[in-house]
Structure 1
Amino acid sequence: MAIVKMKRLRLIGMAAERDELLRQLQRVGCVEIDEPEDQGSDPDWNGLARVSDTALAEREAENASLQSALTVLDRYPKEKEGAFQPKPRVTEQQLFDGQVRAEARKAASAISAGEKHLAQLQSEMARKKSQLQSLTPWKELDLPLETAGTRDMAVLFLSFPANTDLEQVSKALEEATELSELQAAGADREFQYAVLFCHRSGLEDGLNALKPFGFARVALRGWTGTAADNIRRLEGELDQLAREGQEEEKNLAGQTGHREALRLAIDQTEQERRREICKSRLMASGSAVFLEGWLPADQEKALEEALEPFTCAWETQEPAEEDYPKVPILLKNNPLTAPLNMITNMYVLPAYDGVDPNPLMAPFFIFFFGMMMADMGYGILMVILSLVMTRKMHVKGTMKDMAGLLMLCGISTFIMGAVTGGFFGDFIPQLAKLINPNTTLTALPALFTPLTDTLAILVGALALGLLQVVTGMAVSVVRKCQAGEAADAIGNEVAWWIILAGIPLAIFGIGTVAGVPVVLVVGFLVLIWGSTREAKGFGKITSLIGALYNGVTGFFSDILSYARLMALMLAGSVIATVFNTLGTVTGNVVAFILIAMVGNLLNFALNLLGCYVHDMRLQCLEYFGRFYKEGGKPFKPLLYDTKYVDIVKEEP
């Protein structure tokens, strides 16, 4: 339950063993290889150059190709699998099977070619459909589309807005020139189409007469024959393209048997890509390579055993204080506190010389969540959801932390629900009353209820807030004393403790001498000393005013923030009761259960998110602000990290 102690690793090895050395480090999975810094100014780097090759780009390109092929196959029905099927378990040898990779490459190439051909077919079909759409309005026109007229007669293909009266257009045309005729061709949703036959001597007058009707000339270049002939030809070509597309889809669907090989190859190339990234961080000089990185101190023995077969020299060093900002952070927690990692990671990791917040946060977060949710039914749902995630879905990483947090908070929610008598709100009493109006069961047994003991719950919430804030201050005092800053701890945190203790003592007259509240006065004197001891002149007054203002407003505003514990408990209980009451209005047991369950599920989902957000806010702002030193970066060792399979150790 602490920040894992790290050591700086420096290693010089043979260039010929570089690839196998990286493989071994990946198997061990405890070394983070750093990007070298200050190469020009550090004499240790003289004569070394960065390792450079094209393997990383090749691995990335291959991985992208395999992933693209798998994405194509995901369009087709997958093989039947049981619900929440776990990942296949393979050995390292099976993961890096060359035959599987060759199969995957061949399949990816075929799938890529098929997908490209299918895209070409679809593009050609789209083009021909567009052509077909443009010719459809001219389908009834028995006139070759290449007709351009004669020496004396002009033939123009025109379009008019859909609401145009073509009879009026014809009358206007006849008035402008007698040697003309307008023949309607067809229409679509936006336009009407027509052909203008006009003697060239009257063409200009005819076109001027058409201008008020908003006509436009239609270009039908490249077509020969009538529109009907071209439409029949296009429909035949579209049918042929559709058949080819179906055949290509069938061929692609036939590649689904390579799905597992593709998945395995993707995981394989991903591990190689990770090694190549680390390889690009190495330095080389002739036949030697140099790497620098970090490893957990408790893994030094495992690293020693892993490096024994190699010709290399290596050393580890404790990080100097100036190196702390560079040291990667790894938190070591037990099953109770480990799920809180997801909150710490969402906020920011602690600095290397800080403190692991998870053990300090776990009891408060879990209890606060249960207090806000406070319902046995909701607690049972959370526990079931957690079990499904861990036992059936086999989640890992952040999702595993989430499942663990659901379990812990679900238990807390159930306990608080038992204390407050909530089971999906007042579901059981309402159901009992609906079944038997004369029932004496009006509520489940409870120590207190949100709807009747609101003030008591508010006072309790503020008391819990005071406890957490004081705990944060206590952690700060300990950390400052460890850092040799005891005077600062006394002048800040301890002074306020004395003042807080002195206020109730002064109210009840305890510890008062000659009418003077001694404890309270001592607290203020310590605060004055602590806030002004490093200031000079008029700065002492401003420092004291600032300390008083920030202390009073900050401290009490933080305490008041914990009123949200009562507010969310009350809100969840009221919403559940409202939905249960709506169900009883029907007077039917089945309808009541349906309405109540739907409403409670909605309330559960909203509360699950709301309680998490507000609980995390209390921890990150009101609590962490008292002692937390942030700024750490996560420890990212070179290790096997697979997406589609789980690696198991080979049998000896």
Structure 2
Amino acid sequence: MAIVKMKKLRVMAMAAQRDALLRELLRLGCVEISEPAGKLSDPAWAALLRRDASQLAQTKNEQGEAGAALAALKRYGGTKDGLFIQRRAVSETEFLSDETLESSRAVSGKINGYLQEISRLQGEENRLLSRKAGLEPWVPLDMPLELGGTEHAVFRLGVFPGAADTAAIRAELADAAAELYEISADKQQRCCLLAAHRAEEEKALEILRPHGFSVTVFQGVTGTAAQNVQALDGALAENRKQRQEAEAAIAALAPERDRLRLYADRLSAEAAEDLNTERLLTDGTIVFFEGWAPAENLAEVQALLDAKGCAWEAEDPAEEDIPDVPVRLKNNWFTKPLNMVTEMYSLPAYNNVDPNPLMAPFFILFYGIMMADMGYGILMFLAGTIVSKKYRPKGTMGHMMGLLQLCGVSTFFWGALTGGFFGDFLTQVVKLTTGGDFALPALFTPLNDTLMILVGAMALGMVQIVTGMAVSFIRKLKAGQVLDAVFEEVTWWIVFIGIGLMAAGVTNLVLYAGLALIVIGPLVTGQGFGKIMGIFGSLYNHVTGYFGDILSYARLMALMLAGSVIAQVFNTLGAIPGNILIFLVISLAGNALNFALNLLGCYVHDLRLQCLEYFGKFYEDGGKPFRPLAMETKYVDITK
């Protein structure tokens, strides 16, 4: 297993062949077209070529409409996605069919038309409700709202703050030819009608103004408030009817969900094609691009480019190209699920090593040690297998299910060694049902052999650390860094062996030789005063580093012990009442909680051991993921 070797491509084709070439590259799915930023910054290139144009904005808009249509079917049509998407298989011909595209676009347009109508009706409903809310306080007033007065009298509608004392205000109006009538009141406002002689209107308003009186005018409204509210209720009922009809029309299109899902995936492919179109350089007659392709796929790429009449060349990346070379990891069924861990941390640099084969045995082994329960292992394996078979997830979710299966096997194995099946579940069941004693056979148990497990955990940690050092040693030798390899890795291997021999009482000479190399190393590789400081720095950094890392592996014992104890505590609590049904309820609930906590906790601690203690010895990250122009789908599986 290794990092896939890449070839740097330079391709030139006739502009008329652009769309057909990109479509075939999309189907091939193994060529990444690079951004031409460097070329455009060169005046010589900028004078000749420019970026090509595409319909990416329109495609993105159609993607948004397709997503809105699917969301509408979920909301109004009762379609459910579930935790995992059920992929269906479609042929490549159907996926790329223009007829399928147009019919799906029509369905999406129809649903989005209904959504626009629903949105318009919702806005109209809000407007009607706002008008109704403004009229409702005036319903008790049996007077047309447009009536402003008579020949000698004037009528003014207005509101006071809710705390206003209308009785006192009415008394103040005694000096004016006016009367104040309270129509309705609540905590926020008091709605009133002012009736005054036309000659006394200004005087009455001057009296009311200090009390916060604000005149209310209903523009374009005729009839009483009650009549208008009744009309608005009718309009609201009609509005809701039309909305229900639009929602029902969307619900009736629920059977078209699979067509829309295919359409959404097709648009994703179209967007990828349009995005790569904008990476091409053109003068209107020819198109040019640079990119990357796996060396193992070069024959397919060559056949395609030759068939399209392209001028092209492929070469190995130069040393200065290394930071820009995209990285693809080539793994088998055992190591591929670890892509999830590697991608979460960071891909390796192109000239580094693939960490998955080096990490997979340790990650899976350590996870099983920390979880160590046959029942939990069975659940993990079944969950991973069922989801993988039924839903065929891809990407991170697919890797997660594969990793869950492998870690489930490891968990079951270590559970068999420690005699754990949901803790001591079977022991308690037998005791409650028959009164007898029963225990699964165990090679060792977390509670009785804690010290042995601790020593074993640190020994496994030592093995992993030495493995990381060995990888670093080999890489340094290949790079010609012989002295660094000797004084960094070999020196400390001798120290480790010397400590072991001294502890066994065999000899101290090997340890002394290792200590001598610690002193010699900085003297040989350092310069000036740095030679002396290098001795102390090397000693301090390596002692605290290596031995601190080894102590970190004590977490293997700690999590094994914690998981076992928590499971047994819940089983014991469930067994106290002496009723098998109560026991099952408490035990299953407690084990479910313990399982969920350990499922995440063991992953986090295992990840820490790999990324900090292990990767720190040899790993160089910073790789760019290989993102070829390809048909990446979310809802369907394409069969050729």
TM-score (norm 2): 0.92
From 445, 455, 465, the equivalent of 1:469 is 465
1:320 aligned residue: 318
Give the stretch that moved more between structures: 489-498 or 360-369: 489-498
Change (3 A) 1:149 1:571: farther
Distance 1:43 1:83, change over 3 A: closer
Following superposition, the deviation at residue 555 of structure 1 comes to: 1.4
Rounded Cα–Cα distance in structure 2 between residues aligned with 1:190 and 1:455:
73
- Per the TM alignment, residue 337 of structure 1 is displaced from its structure 2 partner at its CA by 0.7
Aligned to 2:347: 349
Q: What amino acid does structure 1 have at the position aligned with 2:102?
A: A
Quote how far apart the aligned CAs of 1:375 are.
0.8
Aligned mate of 1:373, from 368, 371, 374: 371
Q: Which residue of structure 2 lines up, in the alignment, with residue 207 of structure 1?
A: 208
Which residue of 2 is the match for residue 145 of structure 1? 145
Q: Aligned runs of 1:17-36 on 2, under 5 Å?
A: 17-36=17-36
Deviations 1:297-343 (A, max 9, x none): 11112222333422122221111122111111111111111100010
The secondary structure found in structure 1 opposite 2:75 is coil
Q: 2:287 aligns with which of 286, 289, 301?
A: 289
State the 1:243 CA deviation: 1.8
* Equivalent pair of 1:176/1:205 in contact (CA under 8 Å): no
Q: Residues of 2 paired with 1:141 and 1:82: CA distance?
A: 55
Counterpart code for 2:546? F
Q: In the alignment, which of 421, 424, 432 is matched to residue 423 of structure 1?
A: 421
Contact 1:372/1:565, CA 8 A, preserved across alignment = yes
Q: 1:83 to 1:363 in 2, by over 3 A?
A: closer
1:486 aligns with 2:482: yes
Match of 1:277 in 2: 275
Question: What one-letter code is carried by the residue in structure 2 that aligns with 1:474?
Answer: A
User: What SS does the aligned partner of 1:631 have?
Assistant: coil
1:508–1:156 distance in 2 versus 1, CA, 3 Å: same
- 1:101 CA drift (Å): 2.1
1:80–1:123 Cα change, 3 Å: closer
Match of 2:9 in 1: 9
Kept after mapping to 1: 8 A contact 2:427/2:437: no
CA contact (8 A) 1:275 1:638 kept: yes
> Following the alignment from structure 1 to structure 2, what is the Cα–Cα distance between the partners of residues 480 and 117?
68
Question: Does the Cα contact within 8 Å between 1:579 and 1:595 map onto a contact in 2?
Answer: yes
Contact 2:366-2:606 at 8 Å conserved across structures? yes
Structure 1 44/481 Cα, relative in aligned 2: closer, same or farther at 3 Å?
A: farther
Match of 1:561 among 547, 552, 565: 552
Aligned to 1:217: 214
Query: Residue 139 of structure 2 contacts residue 226 of structure 2 at CA under 8 Å; is this kept in 1?
Result: yes
- Per the alignment, residue 240 of structure 1 pairs with 238
Residues 85-124 of structure 1 mapped to structure 2, 5 A cutoff: 86-124=86-124
Amino acid paired to 1:33: I
Q: Secondary structure at the match of 2:559?
A: helix
Asked whether the 8 Å contact 1:84–1:392 carries over to 2, the reply is no
Among 171, 174, 177, the residue aligned to 1:174: 171
Q: Deviations over 1:118-137 (max 9, x none)?
A: 21111111111122122222
Question: Aligned residue for 2:299?
Answer: 301
1:160/1:193 contact within 8 Å kept: no
Code of the aligned partner of 1:591: I
Structure-1-length-normalised TM-score: 0.91
- Distance change (3 Å), C-alpha of 1:140 and 1:376: same
Shift of 1:459: 1.8
What are the within-5 Å matches in structure 2 for residues 516-555 of structure 1?
A: 517-555=508-546
Distance 1:583 1:618 in 2: 35
Q: 1:40 to 1:17 in 2, by over 3 A?
A: closer
What is the match of residue 612 of structure 1? 603
- What secondary structure does 2:76 align onto? coil
Could you give the per-residue CA deviations for residues 151-206 of structure 1, whole angstroms, max 9, x where no partner exists? 56664432443xx5x8x641563266366655332345644544455664763675
1:221-244 per-position Cα deviation (integer Å, ceiling 9, x unaligned): 223332211111111111121222
8 Å Cα contact 2:169/2:208 also seen in 1: no
Whether 2:453 is the aligned partner of 1:457: answer yes
Report the Cα offset of residue 73 of structure 1.
Answer: 2.6
1:439 aligns with 2:430: no
2:9–2:291 CA contact under 8 A, matched in 1: yes
Whether 1:582 aligns to 2:573 is: yes
Distance change >3 Å, CA 36–CA 172, structure 1 → 2: closer
- Alignment check: 8 A CA contact 1:419 1:448 kept: yes
Q: Deviations over 1:596-646 (max 9, x none)?
A: 112211111111111111100110011000000111111111122222322
From 361, 364, 367, the counterpart of 1:363: 361
**SS of the residue 2:291 aligns to:** strand
Structure 2 residue matching 1:444: 3-state secondary structure: coil
User: Residues 473 and 79 of structure 1: is their aligned pair in 2 closer, same or farther, counting only changes over 3 Å?
Assistant: closer
Which of the numbers 498, 501, 516 marks the counterpart of 1:502?
A: 498
- 3-state SS of 2:183 partner: strand
Looking at structure 2, the residues matched to 83 and 193 of structure 1 have their Cα atoms a distance apart, in angstroms, of 55
Displacement, 1:34? 1.2
Matching residue of 1:53: 53
The structure 2 residue matched to 1:387, chosen from 385, 388, 394, is 385
Mapped to 1, the partners of 2:30 and 2:63 lie a distance apart of: 25
Separation of aligned partners in 2, 1:353 and 1:84: 37
| Maintained 8 Å contact 1:492/1:531 | no
Relative to structure 1, the CA distance from residue 257 to residue 412 in structure 2 (aligned partners, 3 Å threshold; closer, same or farther) is closer
Q: Deviations over 1:257-312 (max 9, x none)?
A: 44333333333332222222222212234533222111111111222233342212
In structure 2, the residue matched to 1:594 is 585
CA contact (8 A) 1:7 1:317 kept: yes
- SS of the aligned residue for 1:133 comes to helix
Contact 1:177/1:205, CA 8 A, preserved across alignment: no
Aligned-partner residue type, residue 278 of structure 2: S
Tell me, what secondary structure is at the counterpart of 1:341? helix
- In the TM superposition, residue 408 of structure 1 has moved relative to its aligned partner by 0.4
Identity %, equivalent residues:
49
2:52 and 2:279 in contact (8 A); partners too:
no
Q: Say if 2:159 and 2:189, in contact at 8 Å, map to a contact too.
A: no
State the distance in 1 between where 2:236 and 2:161 align: 29
| Aligned: 1:639 with 2:623 | no
Judge conservation of contact 1:101–1:261 (CA < 8 Å) in 2.
no
Amino acid at match of 1:401: H
Q: What value does the CA root-mean-square deviation take over the aligned residues?
A: 2.7
Deviation for aligned residue 1:508? 5.0
* Contact residue 48 and residue 283 of structure 1 kept, 8 A: no
Return the alpha-carbon distance in structure 1 between the equivalents of residues 187 and 389 of structure 2: 58
Larger deviation, residues 83-92 vs 343-352: 83-92
Aligned 8 A contact 1:85 1:392 in 2? no
Cα deviation digits, residues 556-600 of structure 1 (max 9, x gap): 221121121112112212221222222223332112112211221
- TM-superposed CA distance for 1:390, in Å, is 0.8
Read off the aligned partner of 2:361 and give its amino acid letter. P
**Are 2:77 and 2:253, in contact at CA under 8 Å, matched by a contact in 1?**
no
How many residues are matched? 634
2:213 and 2:413 mapped to 1: Cα distance? Answer: 78
Shift of 1:470: 1.4
Match of residue 263 from structure 1: 261
Cα distance 1:224–1:586, how it changes in 2: closer, same or farther (>3 A)? farther
Amino acid across the alignment from 2:446: P
CA–CA separation in structure 2 for the residues paired with 1:43 and 1:50: 11
CA contact (8 A) 2:173 2:179 kept: no
Partners of 2:108 and 2:584 in 1: CA distance: 52
3-state SS of 1:9 partner: strand
Matches of 1:155 and 1:13 in 2, distance apart?
80
Name the aligned partner's letter for residue 173 of structure 1.
R
Match of 1:448 among 436, 441, 444: 444
C-alpha distance in structure 2 between counterparts of 1:613 and 1:156, whole Å: 69
Question: Which is worse superposed, 617-626 or 22-31?
Answer: 22-31
Q: Distance in 2 between matches of 1:509 and 1:434?
A: 52
